[in-house]
Amino acid sequence: MDFAFILDPLPQLKAYKDSSVAMMRELSRRGHSVYALGQGDLMWDEGTTCGRVRALDVTDDDQHWYREAPSTLRRLADFAAVIMRVDPPFDMEYIYTTYLLEAAEREGARVFNRPRAIRDHNEKFAIGLYPQFIAPTLVTRDATSIDEFIDEHEDVVVKPLDGMGGASIFRVGDTDPNRNVIVETVSEHGRRTVMVQKFLPEIVDGDKRVLVIGGQVVPFSLARIPKPGETRGNLAVGGRGEARPLSARDLEIAQALAASLWTQGLLIVGLDIIGDSLTEVNVTSPTCFVEIAQGSGFDVAGLFADALLRAVQ
């Protein structure tokens, strides 16, 4: 079968740890063909959604992990599935891409994660669907409400709703002399909605990434442990990854969400859990396949391929 992956530019992908590369390698090992395209390669022309795709010969050499054929124009509905794996920012171009992919769905394409579900699950605010699992949280752009929340909880985290990789996340205390300027900066003086959460000291033990694939929970997480002096565990800002078996609470949260997420067409979801609290629901391009596999021996890419093939057969 032929599978199309919508990706960031191929030279930017770090093959030794990239989850999308792991997915493509696994499908190639099973005898399937993989194709790559970017958001800018998509088009809708008089009722047909197409893409300029490039067939990839995927190898296990991390330095030279692919060879690509010249691009050809193909209908997205001609592929067994289209896998959307573009990183945020989730800007208007991202939304336009979801519109194009929804058009492709109407023409018969199978798209994962489903474009409507991606739009409906802001990776920060989606935790609001599961209030029983979250820490005290406020979403607003009103400075007075934010001040009151900081005063009540004394130690909080302020972050934009559209960030990734730990970008623009600030820890703010009630006596912090910079609290006002931090809130003003992140909220752009009230023009931008932000999330404020009670600080979870359990972050010292790791911000755990729990993967849910095709409604099945991967039994290991990647605990992303902050480097000394840092409150963010994201690998992009220097956190150290450690694969661990899921705790009872991790499993409880993941199993409670798994069936609903898959029903909505979310094939791959990355739940972020700090301590006992759900902090994010990642649906755009969840990662950590390789790190979990290397640290635990669990075949995450294999589980993905199994789930994808079941979904399209």
Active site amino acids: 124, 159, 209, 224, 232, 272, 280, 282
Helices (H) and strands (E) in the chain, counts: 8, 17
In whole angstroms, give the CA distance from residue 64 to residue 181.
46
H-type alpha helices, the chain: 19-29, 92-106, 115-120, 143-153, 179-187, 248-263, 289-296, 300-312
Strand 66-68 relative to strand 48-58, pairing = antiparallel
Six token digits for residue 52: 């300029």
Distances (CA, A) of 198 to 25, 32, 291: 40, 46, 29
What is the sign of the dihedral through the CA atoms of 112, 37, 10 and 26? positive
Question: Biggest alpha carbon distance in the chain?
Answer: 60
C-alpha angle 199-169-217 in degrees, rounded to nearest 5: 70
